[in-house]
Amino acid sequence: MARLALLSVSNKTGLIDLARSLIEEFNFDLISSGGTAKAIKDAGLPVTKVADYTGSPEILGGRVKTLHPRIHGGILARRNVPDDLTDLANNQIRLIDLVVVNLYPFEETIAQPNVTLDFSVEQIDIGGPALLRAASKNFAHLTVLCDPTQYEDYLQQLRENQGEASLEFRTKCALKGFLHTSSYDASIASYLSQQQKTESTLPEQFTLSGKQLQALRYGENPHQSAGWYQTGNTPTGWAAATKLQGKELSYNNLVDLEAARRIICEFPDTPAAAILKHTNPCGVALGSNLNEAYQKAFNADAVSAFGGIVAFNQTIDAATASELTKTFLECVVAPDCDEDALSILAAKSNLRILILPDLSNGPTQTVKAIAGGFLVQAADDIIADTSKWQIVSDRQPTQTELEELLFAWKVCKHVKSNAIVVSSDRTTLGVGAGQMNRVGSVKIALEQAQDKAKNAILASDGFFPFDDSVRTAAAAGISAIVQPGGSLRDADSIKAANELGLVMVFTGVRHFLH
């Protein structure tokens, strides 16, 4: 007797070639439902509709098609259990040797603009996941395929093994089936959680799911394995970026690129450039054009810029590209790159050039693994609002100082704590990052700035616990300081600022970055 295969797919890529091979090469009978049956029939291939096989019509507008004992009995029966085979015989149920299923495009549906909840709910597949789970559970006796990329591998298995798929292959397919349904359910749960209006911004249960987009050579260090995973079926963020040239991206590249993306998003309007090393900015600047912004950012710390990551908020032009070729860089990301610029950059064939048109489209939450679990927090995407800032010093800032304070504050948000940024002319002059005490970061930033610190601005991501940082800044010539405020000794810092003629502004917002 011919073997039986059940085919019910939303994505019909490769369907007809698979169906034809199953029939002509391996003597399979096919049963199918809905649009899949129509596609096979239209290709001139024999197929039995599920409704005809089960004797039960599709009901509820197609919500119930394959949920039937003749289907699930044929899938779940154990070939080595006599009672199972007796049950099949008594109920005129055939064994099913192959299940080919992929699911309604739920993620693609909810990604569409203005999609309604009711419409989204109708794209929640019920029969498909049930088939996948049943077939995956019984991998000892049959094969389940949930991805068109598996079709040719399955056919090759049959060709090489006298018409049978190996247990090893069936096991791998079953795992892929369970991962597929798990990811699918996670997407639905995440979507429905977003529809709920609750006091908490995070759900009681948080499911993290992704599929490997690329196996990376290694992680932070060569002895650490690593992979790049994409969340959802529709590529977004870096998964949707276009790499125009250069070597494969590394784990550290991607981590740095994400840090670069976050910081360049702070400056959507004026041409901006940010150069990063190990996720910290070593040079950030605004300019009248992109080339000027890049040169200012590079000259802010030319030593650290070597081997750095560069982010732009505008299209790379020829003049900027020429400057980029003058030093060794790991990666460059921008919303676009014109043809002349790309031709110039081709001279640096190993330089990774990435195009990410929507640099602002980032995650709304961040996840960090800890022993026994993980931490989830809302992304630090608060927009600085100078109207809510409090000028606590006697001296009031000029408009120029206020604009510079805002620039430094935006950059400081993206520096590892304890974070200090010194800037002037919308250009970073010194960055103190990750020190164990704040005055240590102040000293590092001022040392980098050197004489340029005179009349410059200083930003701190957290409050000053003592007035020593204020006095150190004033001694170097700093004219204005922006910080969150909130220390028990704020009065000491304010007093020091007034004594030394500094402007001091409290933002009321802290930007620790660990």
| Full DSSP string of 193-257 | HHH---SSSS-SS-----EEEEEES-SSSTTS-EEEEE-SSS--GGGG-EEEESSPPPHHHHHHH
| Integer-rounded Cα radius of gyration of the chain | 30
pLDDT at 109: 63
Query: What amino acid is encoded at 353 in this protein?
Result: I
What's the pLDDT score for residue 88?
Answer: 85
Summarised one tens digit per residue, pLDDT across range 412-426 is 999 999 999 999 999
Q: Are 49 and 33 in contact (CB under 8 A)?
A: yes
- Other C-beta atoms lying within 10 Å of the C-beta of residue 197: 5
| Residue pointed to by tokens 């990329």 | 149
Q: Find the mean pLDDT for residues 89-114.
A: 80
| Predicted confidence (pLDDT) at residue 55 exceeds the cutoff of 80 | no
61: number of Cβ within 10 Å: 7
CA dist list (Å): 379 to 41, 364, 365, 367, 512: 51, 5, 5, 9, 12
Q: Look at the chain and count its residues.
A: 514
Q: Please give the pLDDT value at position 183.
A: 78
**Taking a C-beta distance cutoff of 8 angstroms, is the pair 493, 487 a contact?**
yes
pLDDT at 240: 92
pLDDT of residue 93: 86
Query: What is the per-residue pLDDT for 58?
Result: 73
Q: Which residues are catalytic?
A: 137, 278
Question: Distance between CA 444 and CA 433 in Å, rounded?
Answer: 8
pLDDT over 60 (residue 198):
no
Our measurement of the distance from residue 316's CA atom to the centroid of its chain's CA atoms, rounded to an integer in Å, reads: 24
Name, in order, each residue with C-beta under 8 angstroms of 497's C-beta and a sequence gap of 6 or more.
Answer: 392, 393, 470, 474, 481, 503, 504
Cα separation, 101 vs 125, in Å, equals 11
- Does the predicted TM-score (pTM) go above 0.95? no
Residue 245's φ and ψ, nearest 5 degrees, are -165, 170
pLDDT in tens, 248-295: 999 999 999 999 999 999 999 999 999 999 999 999 999 999 999 999
Structure confidence at residue 260 (pLDDT): 97
| Residue 199 predicted with pLDDT over 60 | no
